[in-house]
Structure formats: structure tokens, C-alpha cells
Amino acid sequence: MNEEALHQDGPGDGSPHRPIRSFVLRQSRTSAAQQRAVDTLLPRWGVEYAGQPLDLEAAFGRRAPVVLEIGFGMGESTAAYAALHPERDFLGVEVHTPGVGNLLKLIDAQELSNVRVVRHDAVEVLRHMLTPDSLAGAHVFFPDPWPKKRHHKRRLIQPPFVQLLAGRLAPGGYVHLATDWEEYAQQMLAVLSAEPLLENTAAGFAPRPESRPLTRFEQRGLRLGHGVWDLLFRRRAA
């Protein structure tokens, strides 16, 4: 793949070779309970970032299909999926401390043993810690839409990233995206449709699978009349 493309940002932002990130750092308040969860539970359920392949069986203590969730927000979907699918393991990647702490609280409260958390940039985790054909699935729900046209280059769902992600899926593995920003949804559909390793499981956008829980953020948007678009693609068989 073209690694350089995954590292470029456009001119005019003062850093022509700044890497594309799976996040943008914002000021957000971490509650005492969230910070306490990070301090006490991350050593148990967390996986330290390392620039080398991760032994998934060792990390989870068993051999099972692994689903990656990129940017899990407050962790509600991750915890819900893990509870519904105890036969799968879920690797959640997030950088924001409130979300990491909240997911750790959910893991503890629901006694979920099939979730691990990496507090790091997902692009680097994909590139350095996950090996080709290692994932049964990947979730990217409501990534930052970067709505201003001059910021579109910062969007996560771009051809180099999708190529990298598709290569980490095992044949038959899936990638499930969702967004409430229609223009970004159209871009996502075009980018995923152009990736040779992937095939669409629907004729365009997919109905929301019942297995994808509604987050509070999404429920609020639906009450306000916002649309939500799901995309469900599968890695082609070898």
C-alpha cells in the first residue's frame, strides 16, 4: 500500500506530513469515577501499545474471533456487543480518557471478560500491532465527520486507511461503519466500494443490524430527525 498517503495532510495546516489520526484531541472532563477506573482497571483490562505484533490469544487468554472497535466513544456499543457475543473477543481502541474510563466501568460492572482496551491511535495500532488476516470484524461507529470541506482530508475513512483495515480482516471478515452525516456516508460508500478486497453485503447502505445497539448520542439524533447510515462490507474470500 501507499504508506505515504496515510501520513499526509494537506497544505495550509502548517504540517504537510502530519499523520492522519483516528481521533482529534479535545478538552473533555474526566469524572472522578472514570479516572479511578483508568487507574485501577486499565492495568487489568488494558493492552499497552507496542510497535510490534500483538499476541491476541495471550491478550485474551483464549483463541476466539476478534472484533476491533475503533473510537468506541463512551464504550456503550462495545460493552453491549461483548455481552451479546461472549464467543467473540473485542479489542477497543480509544484515546480519550473519559471514554476509556467509562468502558472500563462497564466491563467491571457487567463482568465482561472478552474486552480489552488500547488507549492509543487506532491507525498505529492497525499498522503495527495487528497482523494481516487477524480480525473477524471491525467497527467504526460515528467517526468525526470533519464537516468543513477544507478539513475533509482529515477524515479517517480514506482509501489508504481502508486498504490497511481490509488487509487486517480474515477472508469473510466484515467491516461495519455508521455515521449520521449523509455526505460523509456517501464518501464512505464510495471508498469502501472501490477497495478490491471488500464487497458490499447490501445494495448500497445496509439496514441497521439489530445487533448494533443504539447509543444515547444516536437516540438523541433520531429524536431530532437526524438520519443514520450503516455500511456493512465483507472481506472477499481468498
> Rounded to an integer, what is the distance from CA 38 to the centroid of its chain?
20
Q: Given 89, 144, 180, 230, which residue is catalytic?
A: 144
- End-to-end CA, the chain: 18
What is the C-alpha to C-alpha distance for residues 204 and 187, in angstroms, rounded to an integer? 12
Q: Which amino acid is at 214?
A: L
The count of C-alpha atoms lying within 13 angstroms of the C-alpha of 229, restricted to the half-sphere facing its C-beta, is 18
Query: Using CA atoms, how far apart are residues 180 and 184, in angstroms rounded to an integer?
Result: 8
Please list the residues that pair with 18 across neighbouring strands. none
What whole-number distance in Å separates Cα of residue 68 and Cα of residue 70? 6
Concerning whether 144 is annotated as a catalytic residue, the answer is yes
Give, in order, the Cα–Cα distances in Å from 43 to each of 47, 71, 104, 119, 235.
8, 20, 10, 11, 33
Of 162, 157, 153, 238, the C-alpha closest to 2 is 162
* Enzyme catalytic residues: 144
